[in-house]
Amino acid sequence: MSFNEKFDQHGVWRREFALRLKLLAGWMKDHDLLDAGVEERLHRLESQVRSDKVMVAFVAEFSRGKSELINAIFFAGYGRRIMPASAGRTTMCPTELGYDADVPPCLRLLPIETRLQNQALMEWRMVPEKWTRIDLDVNDPAQLAQAMEKVAETRAVTVEEARLLGFWHDNHPEDNPRVAADGLVEVPKWRHALINIAHPLLKQGLVILDTPGLNAIGAEPELTVSLIPQAHAVVFILAADTGVTKSDLAIWREHLITEGDGVEARLVVLNKIDTLWDALSTPEHVQAQIDRQRATSAEILGLPQSKVIPVSAQKGLVAKVTGDAELLLASQLPELENALAQGVMGQRQKILRAAVAAGIAELKNEAGRAIHIRRRDLAEQMIELRGLRGKNTAVIKHMRSRIVQEQVEFDAGGAKIQAVRSVHLKLLRDVFHLLGTPTLKAELAELTQALKQPGIKLGVKKSYGQTFSRLREGLAKSQILNADIQSMLTASFRQLNVEFSFSLLAPKEPELGRYQHDLELIERSHLQYLGVRNVLKLSQPDFADRLVRALATRLRVVYESALGDVELWNKSAASQLDAQLRERRRNFRRRIEAIERIQQAASGLDERIAEIHDQERVLIELDTRLTEITSHLVDGPGAGAHLRTIPAALERTDSTAEKIAGKAAVTDAA
């Protein structure tokens, strides 16, 4: 199965799963199982699955055939090249291809001059009027390809302007662009490009990041320390005829591999193997050359040979467009697509499936607890009513008085429940403070000050180390506070369970350890970036400012995610308490209503016992259906047949539930 086919299958599963979650939410609402905590969990699961993105970054030095490879893998269906792939430099600015249904098909281009201002790239995304927009006709391949040529545009500037923009470095003259006869140098016209088109794969959540060469990558800190590290796969392209050059190795070491990083999400493409095809050489001799180049490249880059895949993107594209199966096989493009499918999609599906399974398990537990409470209340009512058999009117009247007294005592105990809420919220405020934006800004203030000092900043790595040490300490404090809150909740819930016969269970505390790991990855990517080459660039105030803004943007995402986990934990605990309070009050109403009916008619007792039997059967079936539905939802991609059984399960439960709907309405009205 090719990458496109595998991704398409993944997209179908995601859409079906999100739809079934909506059906499940409606079903749970109809059966009064949808409290605030369950609703939030459902919403998060649906949002996570529906908006799940898979980013594949293509990185290479100029003239390695990177844009042609993107054309061959993703856009051959247009019958022509879409990304510019002519001889010489093509993609001059980082280009993201994705899909947003709220934005019309268009190409948006951010002028290179924005580098002279303080805003980070992420902040510029929030200011659409600063981008040059070109509308796209996705049904006209020629217009689409012509518009895409804009990403290759350049402009001529003075050496001083190039220095300010980050394209001229006095300390590395070998990397500087050529000075023309008129004293001007050529730089990219655009800083960043965003392409929004309804390509089938992009609609399903694929994001393609096309990056320019070493000089452009090094000049844009956010690209190296934010975008590329967050890609789910990085495809690094070499030329088969040259192998690993000095600039290729610089990109690999400085921007793609950090210490302690795994290579699972890294693929190296040895492109242009067709340049080795020689009519004077035997196929065996050509293959031997390719194998030698592959082995040498793998050794230099420190990768297993299986991670280096020889390909001819140009021949693969031609073969797909012309339908030449033999040429497609010779291009070895299907092998790369298979590696992407098994590596990128396989890993992504595994992660998403694990997250879904954990979320569904929590969802089932919370909803199942509500069903358990109702069954327990019915059992208590059954014991109570059976005890009234053969009793006279005075005993029944006394029973009603006792229930009313229990209700009064329960309402009087509300102060204890409110005290639990108050202590819980007070402790949570401390966690919210530690993970809040003001605290993050304060922790970054010292590093920001160090980066803004004039001159060469040789001690900047020490400042980074101190900053990240404080950030890790803050997360550790949050985890300790969470543990204290969990202990308090467990003890308080246990006490409430004893006093009020609740069945409260403190939800599992959020695990902030994974965010410690995220901090380590961010720190490593920044320290890797701050090699000798870029430490010298830090003497430029605008470059240092862009770097710290890029750091703040990425850290904000980490802290907002951690805060979201804590908020969900809080909501799960609070909604569980609210649900059991609501059920207890409803239970008092039903018990009193049952006694009143028994007082009014001699047959009322037997009727009420029969009703409770019916309600018990419905709750048992409800619990069975909940288990059945959630089990089907946990199945991974390719489980469409299982997902299609869910509506039938919902209907079976609904038809049974209708039997007691009228009676429940009478009870609730009382």
Place of tokens 């590696």: 339
User: Number of C-alpha atoms within 13 angstroms, CB side, residue 181?
Assistant: 0
> pLDDT-derived band of residue 130, with 50, 70 and 90 as boundaries?
very high
- Amino acid symbol at 429: R
Among 36-45, 237-246, 509-518, which stretch is predicted with the lowest mean pLDDT? 36-45
β partners of residue 114:
none
Q: SS3 of 209, please? A: strand
Residue 553 has pLDDT above 80, yes or no: yes
Q: Do residues 116 and 164 make contact, with C-beta atoms less than 8 angstroms apart?
A: yes
Q: Do residues 231 and 521 make contact, with C-beta atoms less than 8 angstroms apart?
A: no
Mean pLDDT of 92-109: 90
Gap between the Cα atoms of 541 and 552, Å rounded: 17
For the question of whether the overall pTM of this predicted structure is more than 0.85, the answer is no
Task: Kindly report the number of other CB atoms within 10 A of residue 628's CB atom.
Answer: 16
Residue 660 has pLDDT above 60, yes or no: no
Distance, CA of 479 to chain centre:
22
Distance, CA of 158 to chain centre:
43
pLDDT at residue number 393: 72
Q: How far is CA 547 from CA 172, 393, 532, 552, in A?
A: 20, 82, 15, 9
pLDDT at residue number 625: 86
> pLDDT-derived band of residue 651, with 50, 70 and 90 as boundaries?
low
Please report, for the chain, the start and end positions of each structural domain, with discontinuous segments joined by +.
33-45+350-625+639-669, 53-153+189-331
Gap between the Cα atoms of 480 and 427, Å rounded: 11
More confident residue, 585 or 325: 325
DSSP codes, 59-118: EE-TTS-HHHHHHHHHSGGGTS--S---SS----S-EEEE--TTS-SEEEEEEGGGGGSS
For 240-272, how does the pLDDT look when each residue is reduced to its tens digit (9 = 90+)? 988 899 888 888 887 787 555 556 678 899 999
CATH class of 53-153+189-331: alpha beta
Mean pLDDT of 222-237: 82
Gap between the Cα atoms of 316 and 441, Å rounded: 49
Q: 451 CB contacts (<8 Å, ≥6 apart)?
A: 457, 460, 463, 538, 544, 545, 547, 548
Strand intervals (E) in 457-572: none
Q: Do residues 138 and 105 make contact, with C-beta atoms less than 8 angstroms apart?
A: yes
pLDDT at residue number 251: 83
> pLDDT-derived band of residue 600, with 50, 70 and 90 as boundaries?
low
What backbone torsions phi and psi does residue 502 show, to the nearest 5 degrees?
-80, 175
Sheet holding 106-111, edge to edge: 132-135, 106-111, 190-196, 95-98, 206-210, 54-60, 233-239, 266-271, 308-310
Q: Do residues 502 and 496 make contact, with C-beta atoms less than 8 angstroms apart?
A: yes
Among 147-156, 275-284, 448-457, which stretch is predicted with the lowest mean pLDDT? 448-457
Mean pLDDT of 574-581: 84
Residue 174 has pLDDT above 80, yes or no: no
Residue 457 has pLDDT above 80, yes or no: no
Ramachandran sector of residue 240 (left: φ over 0; alpha: ψ -120 to 50; beta: rest)? alpha
pLDDT at residue number 471: 93
For 418-456, how does the pLDDT look when each residue is reduced to its tens digit (9 = 90+)? 887 788 888 889 999 999 989 998 888 888 887 777 666
Kindly report the average pLDDT of the chain as a whole number: 82
Mean pLDDT of 373-390: 79
Report which of 369, 374, 368, 370 is spatially closest to residue 590, judged by C-alpha positions. Answer: 374
For 295-314, how does the pLDDT look when each residue is reduced to its tens digit (9 = 90+)? 999 999 988 998 999 999 99
Structure tokens at 88: 């010489």
Structure tokens at 413: 């105990």
Place of tokens 């298979």: 338
